[in-house]
Amino acid sequence: MLDSYAKKTSTREKILAATRHLMSEKGVQATTLADISQAAGISQGTLFYYYKSKDDLIYDIVEQHFSQLTDSIIASIPRRSSSDKVTLLRGTLEKLIKDQDTSRMNMYLLQEAMAGNSEIKDRFMVKYQTWREMIARQVSCLFAINDPEDLAGLGAVILAIIDGLTIQYLLDNQSFDFKKAAGIMSGMLDNISSPAKETP
């Protein structure tokens, strides 16, 4: 039974690796399931056993990437000092955005979800809820913002900012300034965590 699990894992990893490689070379739209099965050295029937559609495959790649990022971001929070907020935010943004292949696939899936693919839309809604909660925890740790309503709203706003920054980076990565973006986000969050007292 252990051999069967190892074989399934190995085959799945071969499929994912072949898909990443082909999509980085040819693009998401131009890569076919036939291309993927050939590059992975498996039959199309075997590919279909693991993945019913190209969207399922892409979703797994993006899911795997963001799960790893989420784990590494959460793991880094307790070890960082509160004075290193801009550096931590910059590192987080770079990890989330700089992998252009994954970012392109993520944008492709978002486009599919918005165009009416209900299965992908449902998956994204669940994943976005998880990401909003993860962002809220990170913001709470770094900026001492503890109001649940503020945190829920901030999670959604920061996720929207990350999506917007991803689009900008994909369009023009040469002039994109992660440090400046992180500094602005840090300033915004500092203002929320310690708002200026109103003068009478």
Residue 55: DSSP 8-state? H
Stated pTM of the model: 0.73
Which residue segments constitute the domains of the chain, with CATH numbers given?
1-52 (1.10.10.60), 53-193 (1.10.357.10)
CA angle centred on 110, ends 141 and 168, rounded to 5°: 70
Ranges in the chain, pLDDT < 70? 1-9, 65-66, 68-83, 195-200
Task: Encode pLDDT of 149-179 as tens digits.
Answer: 888 888 889 889 988 999 999 999 888 899 9
- Residue labelled with tokens 């992975």: 40
Tokens of 196: 């200026």
Contact at 8 Å (CB) between 64 and 106? no
φ/ψ of residue 112, rounded to 5 = -60, -40
Tokens of 138: 């990170």
